[in-house]
Structure 1
Amino acid sequence: MERLATSREFAHTLNITSNASGAAQAARKGDIIVVVDIIDMSTTAESALDAGALEVFGASSDRVSVPVTVNPEKIGYFAGKKALKHNTELIIVAEPRLGSEDERIENIQLALAGVKRAGASIEAILPNVGSQVSSLADFKDKVVLIITDSGGVAFDAAYNHGAPQVTTGTIVRTMKKKGIRPAKDSAKRAIKLAKKYNTGITLVAASSNSYEDVLATEHIAKLIIEEGFLQV
């Protein structure tokens, strides 16, 4: 008779992958997914959390074509429902970072349709500017939806392929964190979620063509190991 493993017997695993396809594969395996897109999606997310955001979602923009399923309308809907549940507003972050708000809105119609279907109120649509984003709005007790062509796509793929939880990680300092603290907080957040769901962790470099993302995933992985996550 087969005996199911108890939580105490579960062996934690830690993996690194890249791109939306890697995120989707790891999500199907049941891992917690940590999206690392330091310029700028995951750094924007860290800054928003520092400023008191309740939760951060990521979604693909309309113009992206990837070999796995993404569904920004679905994520927009769930982000909107989360805001309604907490009786708060949604802050959207989108690209281009240097363009106008009209240009940003043009690229995110699918996610906006989901937010509209949920019935949530949008407080602002901000540019994806990393650590500086916290100076552009009041994030306290808000839900944040970051819609981008790289990190947002990886988050979207992981979310829609069944990951129990998708989060973000960065090594870049924010307005409140300096030195190694952003990376350490990213590592600890991933470990907390993995223990909550009794899963492994997969770190996803949002783009395999971004040397910064690849190096950052490796650094956060080392910190996760140092925290003792892989110890039996």
Structure 2
Amino acid sequence: MERLSNNREGLHTLNITSNASGAAQAARKGDVIVIVDIIDMSTTAEAALDAGAIEIFGASSDKVSVPVTVNPEKIGYFAGKKAVKHNTELIIVTEPRLGTEEERLDNIQQAMAGVKRSGAKFAKVLPNVGSQVADLADFKDKVVLIITDSGGAAFDAAYTHGAPQVTTGTIVRTGIKKGIKPAKDSAKRAIALAEKYNTGITLVAASSNSYEDVLAAEHIAKLIIEEGFLQV
């Protein structure tokens, strides 16, 4: 875990880590967690938010092996309950990008068990295609559950290990946001949540093997600093 600030009482903290294990550790510390998986989980999430989604959840797929506890069934249940609460549909996004809906459903049975238990209505199981996902469904006022091997697993780990809030961040342009706007909005969203819960922020590169995720997390961290988050 890379520490970008000290942790003295009364000061905001900002850290960068990676993988589901880093997300779990930061969650246990009590930070707001930002999952950065630009190809494509967190970019899919940003596009869905731009298109009017009211909340994003992330869960691990069935066959992922990570060294920390994940609970996709629980997250599927809570995502479904959120949709029920808002009297709206749940949109599910998963992998593979190419293939049939049956193939996508085959690897998300744990999360789907939770969704079904919640009683939520879901109409579509979409591929995880980043910013293009907004062209595949109407996300207005919908809850979105993204189930993937990397970003979904990291989100799942953070949620399961008690983070006060888990969100996503990207530097990739969407259909609405160009240039630096996606990264700036990701930074501002993280700051707003950290101020709401009076916590630090940890950015999680979804995979330490993804240079894109690591660089994107560092870039969003710099924007968080520029926004004055670490000022006393």
Q: CA deviation at 1:152?
A: 0.1
The residue that corresponds to 1:216 in the other structure is 216
Whole-angstrom CA distance in 2 between matches of 1:103 and 1:209 = 26
The residue that corresponds to 2:54 in the other structure is 54
The DSSP-based 3-state class of the residue aligned with 1:15 is: strand
Q: CA deviation at 1:99?
A: 1.7
The residue that corresponds to 2:143 in the other structure is 143
Query: What TM-score results when the alignment is normalised by the length of structure 2?
Result: 0.96
The residue that corresponds to 2:5 in the other structure is none
Contact (CA 8 Å) 1:93, 1:126: kept in 2 or not?
A: yes
The DSSP-based 3-state class of the residue aligned with 1:196 is: helix
Whole-angstrom CA distance in 1 between matches of 2:180 and 2:22 = 26
Whole-angstrom CA distance in 2 between matches of 1:190 and 1:153 = 19
Where in structure 1 are there 5+ consecutive unaligned residues? 1-8
The DSSP-based 3-state class of the residue aligned with 2:212 is: helix
| Structure 1 runs of 4+ with >3 Å offset | none
The residue that corresponds to 1:11 in the other structure is 11
Q: Deviations over 1:144-167 (max 9, x none)?
A: 000000000000000000000000
Where in structure 2 are there 5+ consecutive unaligned residues? 1-8
Whole-angstrom CA distance in 2 between matches of 1:48 and 1:135 = 10
Q: Deviations over 1:45-84 (max 9, x none)?
A: 0000000000000000000011000000000000000000
The DSSP-based 3-state class of the residue aligned with 2:225 is: helix
The DSSP-based 3-state class of the residue aligned with 2:231 is: coil
The residue that corresponds to 2:69 in the other structure is 69
Identity %, equivalent residues: 86
Whole-angstrom CA distance in 2 between matches of 1:63 and 1:100 = 18
Q: CA deviation at 1:10?
A: 2.3
Query: Aligned letter for 1:122?
Result: F
The residue that corresponds to 2:40 in the other structure is 40
Give RMSD over aligned pairs: 0.6
Whole-angstrom CA distance in 2 between matches of 1:157 and 1:207 = 13
The residue that corresponds to 1:87 in the other structure is 87
The residue that corresponds to 2:178 in the other structure is 178
Alignment of 1:183-194 (within 5 A): 183-194=183-194
Q: Does 1:124 align with 2:157?
A: no
Whole-angstrom CA distance in 2 between matches of 1:98 and 1:150 = 17
Contact (CA 8 Å) 1:10, 1:198: kept in 2 or not?
A: no
The residue that corresponds to 2:106 in the other structure is 106
Q: CA deviation at 1:126?
A: 0.1
Query: What TM-score results when the alignment is normalised by the length of structure 1?
Result: 0.96
The DSSP-based 3-state class of the residue aligned with 1:171 is: coil
Q: CA deviation at 1:100?
A: 1.3
Q: Does 1:206 align with 2:198?
A: no
Whole-angstrom CA distance in 2 between matches of 1:53 and 1:18 = 26
The residue that corresponds to 1:5 in the other structure is none
The DSSP-based 3-state class of the residue aligned with 1:10 is: coil
